[in-house]
């Protein structure tokens, strides 16, 4: 019960299908480059183990998406001081969760250390999230701490560590968030007291990006606003957890600025993939720009959660047939790499579900019900028996303002030997397009073009050999 409460309260994240781990940064025209590794790959710190079945892996993705929904859109949030606040701004930082195999990690260097202590920086895996905007790492002296398989960040030894006094003009949070006499941050998850929470200080530090190009180099960014996690409560995590914090790529909100804004590179792109043996890149900077005959674009819009990227979703089609959702989508949708798979509010999901049922009915294929559903089928709501040799699976198209995202069947369904499930989840406060449906496309976020930015995307074979 404690585990499920923790999972449903947290997520960060980047929930989804990749691990980021080598990086290059440079001021000017060049870009930060991050290598992406599938979380179920043996190269991933989130590798769930060789004995996990495909159904067990699928259920991990479902659990993570449900937790993500709870994190992003709680009905209310409770501040650490006990006062109630309906704003999601205080709940924008996600903390670590059980190794569900659905998160992106970035290996970055933090701090500056004397030569006699070894490398000039300490390397940590941080969860990368487009739905959170504050970057933080767990620091030494924490009590209580999240379990971590390496030493916490030794900020006292770092020569570039700069604390910020409480109430100082450089502090991006208010006095009520101070940690002792220092500038601080507080985060809590869920709507009940006693739920998971983390707090600590906000400091100035140096972040270092390691090159994964043929020309080896290291680029560092001093005076970066970094959260230093010092107290974490009620988190049920495995002892060998390898993620030490979070790398925030969200749009913005209460607290520090996202990484792309702090390093003054207002464009980033990523390309997710299907195979556990694949790898890909995430770029921040000019290299993230997309051009070409297949590239389409749609404006980014603002929504209720300032950390998230919202899109004007106008309709959805199944096998090319529009569902006519119209006003049901008036709130738009979010696009989030931190959600493992796509989720809908109940009304939209009911229409989408009916569309898939109608499509398969023409082939005399009816969905499982509670009586006929085999135990080996994953926990998705809508699953069908899969007749031998059947291969007429439909596409699913998201119709945005000015652009269509056509999701191929491999990223709509999860399939076993005798079943096929629609990889969608009901119950979200708003539609969230998750990582599974984003795979095999490159997405580029241009945050200077248009009033609030523009999203470019195009189909792409994203994965190379890991």
Q: Do 236 and 153 share a structural domain?
A: yes
What is the helix (H) or strand (E) element at residue 347, kind and residue range? helix 346-361
Mean pLDDT of 281-288: 81
Q: Do 338 and 273 share a structural domain?
A: no
pLDDT > 90: percent of the chain? 42
Q: Do 303 and 214 share a structural domain?
A: no
Q: Do 300 and 237 share a structural domain?
A: no
Which of the four pLDDT bands, split at 50, 70 and 90, describes residue 69? low
Domain limit, last residue, from 270, 288, 306:
288
Report the pLDDT value the prediction gives residue 75, as an integer from 0 to 100.
39
82 pLDDT above the threshold of 50: no
315 pLDDT above the threshold of 80: yes
Q: Do 109 and 194 share a structural domain?
A: yes
Domain limit, last residue, from 288, 318, 351:
288
Name the DSSP class of 71: H
Q: What is the mean pLDDT of the chain?
A: 77
The 10 Å CB-count burial string (b at 16+, else e) for 441-459 is bbbbbbbebeeebbbbbbe
Task: Judge residue 141's burial from the number of C-beta atoms within 10 Å of its C-beta, 0-12 exposed, 13-18 middle, 19 or more buried.
Answer: middle
Q: Do 247 and 393 share a structural domain?
A: no
Q: Do 243 and 192 share a structural domain?
A: yes
Which of the four pLDDT bands, split at 50, 70 and 90, describes residue 83? very low
Q: Do 234 and 149 share a structural domain?
A: yes
DSSP string, 349-369: HHHHHHHHHHHHHTTT-----
pLDDT tens track for 150-195? 999 999 999 999 999 999 999 999 999 999 999 999 876 544 456 6
Report the pLDDT value the prediction gives residue 184, as an integer from 0 to 100.
96
Q: Do 87 and 151 share a structural domain?
A: yes
Structural domain range at position 349: 296-465
Nearest to 289 by CA among 1, 52, 31, 76: 31
pLDDT tens track for 105-144? 777 889 999 877 667 899 888 877 788 888 989 999 999 9
Residue 225 φ/ψ, nearest 5 degrees: -70, 115
Q: Do 311 and 452 share a structural domain?
A: yes
pLDDT tens track for 423-462? 999 988 889 998 889 989 999 999 999 889 999 999 998 8
Domain limit, last residue, from 237, 265, 288:
288
238 pLDDT above the threshold of 80: no
Which of the four pLDDT bands, split at 50, 70 and 90, describes residue 3? very low
Q: Do 304 and 273 share a structural domain?
A: no
Mean pLDDT of 340-365: 94
User: In the chain, how many domains are there?
Assistant: 2
Q: Is the Cα torsion angle 377, 379, 385, 388 positive or negative in sign?
A: negative
Which of the four pLDDT bands, split at 50, 70 and 90, describes residue 336? confident
Report the pLDDT value the prediction gives residue 77, as an integer from 0 to 100.
31
Q: Do 300 and 257 share a structural domain?
A: no
pLDDT tens track for 193-231? 566 677 999 999 999 876 555 454 677 889 999 999 999
Query: Which of the listed ranges 17-26, 32-41, 68-77, 452-461 does the model predict with the highest average pLDDT?
Result: 452-461
Identify the CATH number of the domain in which residue 166 sits: 2.40.70.10
Instruction: List residues bridging with 334 in a β-sheet.
Output: 310, 432
């Amino acid at each position: 019960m404690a585990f499920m409460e923790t999972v449903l309260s947290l997520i960060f994240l980047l929930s989804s299908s990749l691990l980021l781990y080598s990086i290059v940064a440079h001021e000017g025209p060049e870009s930060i480059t991050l290598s992406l590794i599938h979380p179920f790959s043996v190269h991933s710190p989130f590798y769930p183990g060789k004995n996990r079945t495909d159904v067990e892996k699928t259920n991990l993705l479902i659990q993570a998406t449900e937790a993500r929904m709870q994190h992003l859109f709680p009905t209310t949030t409770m501040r650490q001081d006990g006062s109630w606040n309906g704003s999601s701004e205080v709940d924008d930082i996600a903390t670590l969760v059980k190794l569900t195999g659905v998160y992106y990690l970035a290996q970055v260097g933090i701090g500056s250390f004397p030569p006699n202590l070894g490398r000039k920086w300490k390397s940590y895996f941080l969860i990368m999230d487009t739905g959170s905007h504050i970057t933080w790492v767990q620091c030494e002296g924490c009590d209580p701490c999240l379990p971590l398989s390496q030493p916490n960040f030794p900020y006292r030894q770092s020569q570039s560590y700069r604390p910020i006094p409480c109430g100082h003009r450089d502090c991006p949070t208010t006095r009520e968030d101070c940690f002792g006499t220092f500038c601080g941050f507080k985060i809590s998850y869920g709507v009940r007291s006693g739920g998971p929470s983390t707090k600590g200080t906000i400091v100035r530090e140096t972040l270092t990006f390691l090159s994964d190009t043929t020309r080896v180099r290291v680029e560092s960014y001093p005076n970066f606003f970094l959260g230093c996690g010092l107290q974490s409560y009620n988190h049920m995590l495995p002892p060998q957890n390898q993620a030490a914090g979070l790398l925030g790529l969200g749009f913005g909100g209460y607290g520090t600025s996202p990484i792309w804004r702090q390093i003054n590179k207002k464009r980033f792109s990523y390309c997710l993939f299907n195979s556990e043996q694949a790898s890909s890149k995430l770029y921040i900077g000019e290299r993230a720009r997309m051009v070409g005959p297949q590239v389409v674009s749609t404006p980014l819009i603002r929504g209720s959660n300032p950390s998230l990227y919202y899109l004007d979703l106008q309709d959805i089609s199944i096998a090319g047939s529009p569902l006519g959702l119209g006003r049901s989508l008036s709130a738009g949708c979010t696009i989030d790499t931190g959600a493992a798979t796509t989720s809908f509010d109940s009304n939209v999901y009911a229409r989408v579900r009916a569309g898939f049922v109608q499509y398969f009915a023409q082939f005399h294929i009816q969905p499982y019900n509670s009586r006929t559903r085999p135990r080996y089928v994953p926990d998705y709501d809508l699953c069908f028996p899969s007749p031998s040799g059947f291969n007429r699976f439909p596409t699913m198209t998201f119709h945005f303002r000015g652009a269509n995202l056509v999701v191929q069947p491999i990223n709509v369904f999860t399939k076993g030997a005798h079943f096929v499930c629609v990889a969608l989840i009901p119950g979200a406060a708003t539609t969230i397009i998750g990582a599974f449906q984003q795979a095999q496309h490159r997405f580029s976020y241009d945050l200077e073009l248009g009033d609030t930015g523009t999203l470019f995307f195009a189909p792409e074979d994203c994965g190379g050999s890991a």
